[in-house]
């Protein structure tokens, strides 16, 4: 199993810790492109039009200014820096023992700045979206695509890819045919007998599924059908995922798997229906 997550927009800024050192990160084959993206981001963030170029609102001006010092910024494990709704529900920083080791082997966060990171990788807080056309680098998803393929294609071989990424991050890498399956996780809310697509709070349900896959007593799923069976274990168990003040809680009503027609090259879709 390989679980793909997007980074959170909100990040905890490490107060202390070793400065960013790209050579300490996993996937060393990405170091060259990481340096190029980092240098371009630092340069752009110092410009008067940085907010416009990075697609950031005025409320994010302080975060963008912090980008200027990224080359010397303190770091913490990625599982502690990413703190958005998905990560709050997944509770990666609270895992220990076998579950923490499993997360390190199976969970990958696709990052506009660093390409892909493991939960334990020391990363800084930064402001950069995969949808950015970064001067000096170009559209980030396209620029990362060949580099991520070189790293993630071998990792995905023979493994089930559970894809919780948003569209911008999904554009940076597509699992190869050698994977044991590629399942995109979508979330629907059941309201008065109808099912409606949810966006922001879908992150909570994807995070809850991630935590369940890491902490359940059974083995990790190796096929889309086994993933569906594992997901259905959450039905009737009450609020799913870790809870935190202000975090919406969802209950899983059911889960459904749609598989692509043979030979189409499409991905399977796991729909989580929550209430």
Is the pLDDT assigned to residue 164 strictly greater than 80? yes
pLDDT band at 259 (very low <50, low <70, confident <90, very high): confident
pLDDT band at 265 (very low <50, low <70, confident <90, very high): low
Average pLDDT, the chain: 93
Per-residue pLDDT tens digits for 84-110: 999 999 999 999 999 999 999 999 999
Find the farthest-apart pair of alpha carbons in the chain and give their distance in angstroms, rounded: 53
So what's the pLDDT on residue 245? Answer: 58
Beta bridge mates, 258 = 269
Task: Tell me how far apart the alpha carbons of residues 113 and 130 are, in angstroms, rounded to a whole number.
Answer: 8
* Cβ contact 35:136 at 8 Å: no
Is the pLDDT assigned to residue 189 strictly greater than 90? no
Task: Tell me how far apart the alpha carbons of residues 15 and 73 are, in angstroms, rounded to a whole number.
Answer: 9
- Average of pLDDT values for 190-207? 82
So what's the pLDDT on residue 251? Answer: 87
Is the pLDDT assigned to residue 262 strictly greater than 80? no
Higher pLDDT, residue 251 or 244:
251
So what's the pLDDT on residue 243? Answer: 60
Is the pLDDT assigned to residue 264 strictly greater than 60? no
Checking 192-196 for CB contacts under 8 A at 24+ apart, the result is 195/273
Is the pLDDT assigned to residue 46 strictly greater than 80? yes
- Average of pLDDT values for 130-134? 97
pLDDT band at 148 (very low <50, low <70, confident <90, very high): very high
Q: Could you state, in order of their start, the residue ranges of all structural domains in the chain?
A: 2-274
Beta bridge mates, 194 = 191
Helices 140-156 and 31-45, packing angle to 10 deg: 150
So what's the pLDDT on residue 107? Answer: 98
């Amino acid at each position: 199993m390989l679980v793909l997550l997007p980074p959170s927009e909100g990040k905890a800024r490490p107060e202390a810790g070793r400065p960013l050192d790209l050579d300490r990160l996993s996937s060393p084959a990405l170091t060259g492109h990481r340096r190029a993206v980092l240098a371009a981001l630092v340069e752009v963030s110092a410009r008067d039009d940085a907010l416009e170029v990075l697609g950031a609102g005025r409320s994010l001006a302080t975060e963008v200014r912090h980008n200027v010092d990224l080359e010397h910024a303190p770091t913490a494990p990625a599982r502690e820096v990413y703190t958005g709704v998905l990560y709050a529900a997944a509770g990666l920083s609270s895992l220990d023992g076998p579950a923490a080791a499993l997360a390190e082997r199976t969970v990958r966060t696709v990052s506009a700045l660093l390409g892909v990171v493991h939960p334990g990788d020391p990363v800084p807080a930064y402001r950069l979206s995969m949808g950015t056309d970064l001067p000096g680098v170009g559209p980030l998803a396209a620029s990362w695509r060949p580099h991520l393929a070189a790293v993630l294609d071998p990792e995905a071989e023979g493994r089930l890819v559970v894809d919780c990424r948003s569209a911008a991050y999904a554009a940076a890498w597509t699992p190869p045919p050698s994977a044991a399956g590629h399942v995109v996780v979508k979330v629907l809310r059941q309201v008065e007998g109808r099912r409606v697509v949810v966006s922001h709070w879908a992150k909570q349900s994807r995070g809850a599924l991630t935590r369940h896959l890491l902490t359940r007593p059974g083995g990790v799923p190796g096929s889309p059908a086994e993933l569906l069976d594992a997901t259905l274990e959450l039905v009737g168990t009450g609020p799913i995922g870790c809870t935190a003040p202000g975090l919406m809680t969802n209950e899983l009503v059911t889960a459904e798997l749609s598989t692509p027609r043979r030979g189409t090259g499409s991905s399977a879709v796991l729909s989580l229906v929550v209430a």
